[in-house]
A and B are shown apart, each in its own frame.
Chain A
């Protein structure tokens, strides 16, 4: 038995969410069809709450760096504390990168730092995997390893709770009656469930021959000038930016200003490097005029830039971009094409 683990019944957990929601915004995942979506905790909709499952359709980053955020005239300290439950391993991995960019760099981003501080993460084990899941190839895992305040795993008829930070411990201390001691075998049961999902993902990876980070290292650079490869990969790209927006590690944003009767406003919104305008400068100079250059840039940023500056591959294997792409561009197939130096897609005329 570990002294930082507890168990809580489902009923008590939902009661806890209700109690927490008095002073905080509590967000939980809901099952809708075969997809999971984050939304505010609503006790009337408890039946469709799914804390396990797989990663949600929205990337967790949207709670720390909102899709659109006001930069001038706003006060981030006014925000209610936020508690997000059900965050999965792939989203937790992305915090390595997001923290590096916005929190640990030369200049702190006060909006990010404030949101991050303001947010409590109740992470959860994945209870199954989807064919698009490949976190294990990207040095990830389908269960929380770090960056969580509390983590929960469905074990038998209750949730096993692990404390990951003083913030998490405070929740346990504040609501001590909800948390019970851990039966001896619970941690073993959790381990065997983790092993099962891990094996499932490894099966998907090996069946598809999805390369891992060791194999991917340096391959974008090596194949950088292979224009026919990148052109083929981009042949069905419609430049919608969905891959960027669904991605938990994409961090780029656009600053833009507006003015109305209430005054001058500056916002930032998520941006997408697939857009033609992303790198364009005045006088119509554009370092990435062609769509294939912009698709290649996405891979260069993820698999060369971040490994160079952070020793981190900026893909968590969440598979959201695969699901989001209307052109059926599959990041695993692109990586496989790079590593095996063969591909199936014909170049587009």
Chain B
């Protein structure tokens, strides 16, 4: 019986081990996250991932495992996860209904993971593709929540701080 329960638990655990949102973060779907952002006034951090994506897995393990980063992003952002190949329906701020996969078309996504910062109203602030470090995400946080995006590109901001 014990063996059976263990096997059942492992079987149920398998899908979450294959590059979905990082463990322990309060990620929600796009519609819920955008609605929460409107209510809270927090910016949105959109994690555009892909089921089975190796670089997403790497980012989850290397970067999002950092307890400080987890606290920072969980407190200050509405966290949204979208699957690059999913047919799940979402509604854009324009009122257009598309799928999560189609969101990749609109974002001109060429690789996953893709990280997108949005205003509480759902307007795009900046997007950054690929593996990023804890320090990168702390820099992006300063850029976004510090309002620097209103006057500088991300590259200008990163150049000026070094």
Q: Do A and B bind each other?
A: no
Interface residue ranges, A against B (CB under 8 Å):
none
